[in-house]
Amino acid sequence: MSNMGSTGSGTLRFEGHLALIFALLGVLLTGVITAHWLLVIEPLLRADAASRSHALAQAESRNLERLFINEPADQAGLETELRATLGSILLIKDPATGTPFIRRIDLLLTLTSHAPSS
């Protein structure tokens, strides 16, 4: 009888150790996946998104450049055309998800004056 009792407690101890091993493996796997996401995947995704947005900005900058080269006679006309051009850039969407590629545009203008030639 005592032999049966010791086998039962040995089995319980083995099951407890086995459960602990699986719990530790689960925590370890979760940690490895999280570290891989934070250290590898997320930086690559952010770099890819930044690269694509810079390429899109360079492509769309031609339209903005044309606005300033062919400057309308009045300030209101330039502002209207500028808003229309920037609005069309904001309407570009990802065909797969339907979400906008661009959420915000920051435009920095540096005004310089040209002295008349004598």
Per DSSP, the chain holds a count of helices (H) and strands (E) of: 3, 0
pTM beyond 0.85: no
- Of 99 and 7, the structure prediction assigns the larger pLDDT to 99
> For position 54, what pLDDT does the model report?
85
Q: Which whole number is the average pLDDT over 57-80?
A: 79
Q: Which whole number is the average pLDDT over 32-46?
A: 97
> For position 2, what pLDDT does the model report?
45
DSSP assignment of 66-96 equals HHHHT--SSHHHHHHHHHHHHHHHHT-B-TT
Residue boundaries of the structural domains of the chain? 2-90
Q: What do you get for the CA distance between the two ends of the chain, in Å? A: 117
Does residue 118 carry a pLDDT above 80? no
Does residue 5 carry a pLDDT above 90? no
Percent of all residues in the chain with a pLDDT value above 90, rounded to a whole number: 31
